[in-house]
Amino acid sequence: MLKIVIAEDAVLLRAGLVELLERVGHRVPAAIGDATALVRAVDAERPDAVVTDVRMPPGHRDEGLRAALELRGRHPGLPVLVLSQYVATAYATRLLGAGSADRGGLGYLLKDRVLEVGDFLDALERVAAGQTVIDPEVVRILLARHTADDPLRRLTPREREVLGLMAEGWNNQAIAQRLTVTEASVVKHAGNIFMKLDLDPAEGNRRVLAVLAHLNHVAAADS
Amino acid sequence: MGVAVWAAVRRRPVRFLVSWWPWRGWALLVTGAVQGAVVLVALAAGLLVGVGLSVLGVGVLVLGWTALLGVPVGALERWRLRLVEPERLPDPHRSAARGLRGRLRERASRRELAYALVQSTVFAAAGLLFAAALAFCLLLLSAPVFILAVSPDTVMLWPGRPVSGPLDGFAASAAGLLGLVVLAYSGALLAGAQVRLAQQLLGLRDTDLGVRVVELTRSRARLADAFEAERRRIERDLHDGAQQQLVALGMTLGLVELELRGRDTPATALVARARGEAKLALEQLRTLVRGIHPQVLTDHGLPSAVAELAARHPVPVLVDLHLPRRLPGPVESAAYFTVSEALTNAAKHSGADGITVRGTLDAGALRLSVTDNGRGGADPGAGAGLQGLADRLAVLDGRLTVTSPPGGPTRLELEVPC
């Protein structure tokens, strides 16, 4: 059972989220519709995790994301799952690049993911457990943006697949399941990837962050 | 602009004399004498009364109306000038600017006043002279008849030289005829001069036209703004309404699925299908909204929106677009949809495997280019989409150019001041 604070300005979706979370046994002490109330509620409730929309009142810009970053500063390690209406890699980059990311889970999901109720709950629980979850669509875009001198080109298609799943935050076992291969071969692929991309093969969040940092770097050099 | 009566003289100088033209010229001048006299009196009276009453305040009003005397004179003249000029002069006044103040501010009113002053003095005087000369010439022409009528009394056509009989009068008739010929030509000359002056002062000028063009551009821009606002409203309604509703529906269905988990019932498959359909509807709606006005453009401006377009594009797109500030809404969306159209065209027709989008903002203008390495040969006029975008940019004083030589590359450039 987790204690979760929800910030979402669309009333229907907010109600739906509350119902969903409570039905599977979580507790939602506060569900609010604007960013300033979110910060107050978290300060008061000390939840296990925060689910917030990017676009929030009063400005309907990225108040939700900014509030999340502020909360991460005030409560180090607070797991935050950010929901976004559309893919904006800038959001993901800002969220993940905002320091202290190696402590406490972080997630960036498209709102449509909520429809896959099972996946959504799974992602939320992983974030609350301190892992990093990135929407596959964001990963796909980051992986797709590369140039001629890009080290990603050195990867085999299978290695790219593994890298993509890694970036989404899955561990070797889960990747093996998804690709229906043995865990040993995933470890082998991962080793090759880290070697080819010159990455630190540390486990967990740092692994995801290393991959994302690399992808972002490529993306930044690209644009 | 030509003058019809002058052209008639030049074309057939002899035929001119027996045509209607001399009569029309004289008619213009003689009626002008009457009209000019009335106008002159009215002007003088208005000026006197206005100055006299200026201590009372109403004088200013009287002076104002007097200054506008040119307006009805101009209207009357444009109508009267058709005696000699088949082409009617256009009314230079704007229908929007009415009333004393509006009309006084117009240059056209001032030009009409100037015309009224010249007409009521120079042309009216000339008209009066013409009337007298015509009468005298007609009198000379009719001398034999006149002499016959008064005989046997003696008549003196010239002081001190009595005529002996009607035959003597024919010399006078000849003189009268000659006078009429001279009057015909000089009348044509003078009537033509009046037409020329009217063309200068009573018609539409380029400056008036300029005002109209500005007005038109403004109204077009207003229309474009209204469309833009409407697009945004539709986007917001879909986004905050239908889209949220669909997400909520999908979630509810997901919950049902969760409830049914582990139970062996046909409902499970049906619910899964329903959720899949909701998701599809949501995706379609999202594509639709993007086509109307993408949310990311509203929230983050052009570079982010173009980056998102590039990310979704099947061909690798290199984006080099750095703007120091947000641009006006209509510029942003026109630029966005232009890039979108260019990218779509490149993917469909060019066979390119690399596209570059570059943009800068300098000297108060957005310059943006989309270049692909495809086979070229695109016809810029063929795409209805591009045509519409060019129109949209034209409203913003912008330009869209497409170069696409066979063999490539295809390059689309837009420039919008902002």
| Contact with chain A for residue B308, Cβ under 8 A | yes
Q: How far is CA B144 from CA B70, B157, B159, in A?
A: 46, 11, 17
Lookup: tokens for A189: 């692929």
Which of B239, B257, B308 comes nearest A87 by C-beta? B308
Is the model's pLDDT at A101 over the cut of 60? no
pLDDT tens readout for residues B277-302 = 998 998 888 888 878 888 788 877 89
Q: What interhelical angle do B21-53 and B107-118 show, nearest 10?
A: 110
| Contact with chain A for residue B280, Cβ under 8 A | no
Residue in chain B nearest A13 by alpha carbon? B248
Which of A62, A88, A115 comes nearest B250 by C-beta? A115
Q: Which has the minimum average pLDDT: B160-164, B264-268, B352-356, B359-363?
A: B160-164
Q: How do beta strands B161-162 and B156-158 pair?
A: antiparallel
Residue in chain B nearest A16 by alpha carbon? B248
Q: How far is CA B359 from CA B223, B318, B369, in A?
A: 27, 11, 6
What confidence category does residue A202 fall into, taking pLDDT thresholds of 50, 70 and 90?
low
| C-beta of residue A29 within 8 angstroms of C-beta of residue A11 | no
What confidence category does residue B415 fall into, taking pLDDT thresholds of 50, 70 and 90?
very high
Lookup: tokens for B64: 């104002």
Q: Say whether B319 and A15 touch across the interface (CB within 8 A).
A: no
**Dist. CA A102–CA A131, nearest whole Å:** 9
Q: How do beta strands A27-32 and A3-7 pair?
A: parallel
Tell me whether the omega of the peptide bond preceding residue B405 falls within 30 degrees of 0, making it cis. no
Q: Say whether A85 and B279 touch across the interface (CB within 8 A).
A: no
pLDDT tens readout for residues A15-25 = 989 999 998 89
Per-residue model confidence (pLDDT) at position A149: 53
Phi, then psi, of A134 in degrees rounded to 5: -120, 140
Task: Give the mean model confidence (pLDDT) for residues B352-377.
Answer: 89
Per-residue model confidence (pLDDT) at position A117: 87
Average pLDDT over all residues of chain A: 81
Q: How far is A10 from chain B (nearest CA, A)?
A: 7
Show the CA angle centred on residue A179, arms to residues A175 and A182, nearest 5°.
75
| Contact with chain B for residue A93, Cβ under 8 A | no
Residues present in chain B in total: 418
Q: Which has the minimum average pLDDT: A174-178, B18-22, B34-38, B90-94?
A: B90-94
Is the model's pLDDT at A100 over the cut of 50? no
Q: Please state the separation of Cα B321 from the chain's center in Å.
A: 37
Per-residue model confidence (pLDDT) at position A21: 93
Cβ under 8 Å to B: A residues 175-194: none
What confidence category does residue A43 fall into, taking pLDDT thresholds of 50, 70 and 90?
very high
Task: Give the mean model confidence (pLDDT) for residues B71-95.
Answer: 85
Q: Identify which has the larger pLDDT, B47 or A218.
A: B47
Mutate to test the interface with A, among B258, B295, B299 (most CBs of A within 10 A): B299
Q: How far is A144 from chain B (nearest CA, A)?
A: 7
What confidence category does residue B404 fall into, taking pLDDT thresholds of 50, 70 and 90?
confident
Q: How far is B54 from chain A (nearest CA, A)?
A: 59
pLDDT tens readout for residues B124-136 = 999 999 999 999 9
Per-residue model confidence (pLDDT) at position B304: 85
User: Which of B205, B241, B138 is closest to B1 using CA atoms?
Assistant: B205
Per-residue model confidence (pLDDT) at position A185: 92
| Contact with chain A for residue B245, Cβ under 8 A | yes
Q: How far is A206 from chain B (nearest CA, A)?
A: 25
Please count the other Cβ atoms lying within 10 Å of the Cβ belonging to residue B317: 27
pLDDT tens readout for residues B296-322 = 888 778 988 898 888 888 888 888 888
Is the model's pLDDT at B238 over the cut of 50? yes
Instruction: Please report, rounded to a whole number, the percentage of residues in chain A having pLDDT higher than 70.
Output: 81
Residue in chain A nearest B354 by alpha carbon? A147
Is the model's pLDDT at B147 over the cut of 90? no
Question: A90: which chain B residues are within 8 Å (Cβ-Cβ)?
Answer: 300, 304, 307
Is the model's pLDDT at B39 over the cut of 90? yes
Task: Give the mean model confidence (pLDDT) for residues A5-17.
Answer: 90
Per-residue model confidence (pLDDT) at position A144: 67
Task: Give the mean model confidence (pLDDT) for residues B56-60.
Answer: 80
Q: Say whether B251 and A17 touch across the interface (CB within 8 A).
A: yes
Per-residue model confidence (pLDDT) at position B383: 62
Which of B245, B252, B308 comes nearest A88 by C-beta? B308
Per-residue model confidence (pLDDT) at position B59: 82
Per-residue model confidence (pLDDT) at position B210: 65
Is the model's pLDDT at A106 over the cut of 60? yes
| C-beta of residue B77 within 8 angstroms of C-beta of residue B114 | no
Give me the sheet containing B365-372, strands edge to edge. Answer: B317-321, B355-362, B365-372, B410-417, B399-403
Question: A147: which chain B residues are within 8 Å (Cβ-Cβ)?
Answer: 318
pLDDT tens readout for residues B180-216 = 999 999 999 999 999 999 988 888 776 666 666 777 7
What confidence category does residue A69 fall into, taking pLDDT thresholds of 50, 70 and 90?
confident
Q: Which has the minimum average pLDDT: A119-128, B212-221, B338-347?
A: B212-221
Is the model's pLDDT at B274 over the cut of 50? yes
Per-residue model confidence (pLDDT) at position A223: 39
Q: How far is A30 from chain B (nearest CA, A)?
A: 19
**Dist. CA A74–CA A98, nearest whole Å:** 13
Which of A23, A62, A141 comes nearest B255 by C-beta? A23
| Contact with chain A for residue B353, Cβ under 8 A | no
Q: Identify which has the larger pLDDT, A138 or B35.
A: B35
| C-beta of residue B127 within 8 angstroms of C-beta of residue B30 | yes
| Contact with chain B for residue A113, Cβ under 8 A | no
pLDDT tens readout for residues B379-396 = 766 666 778 888 888 888
Spatial neighbors of B160 by CB under 8 A, at least 6 apart, are: none
pLDDT tens readout for residues A112-134 = 888 888 889 999 999 999 888 88
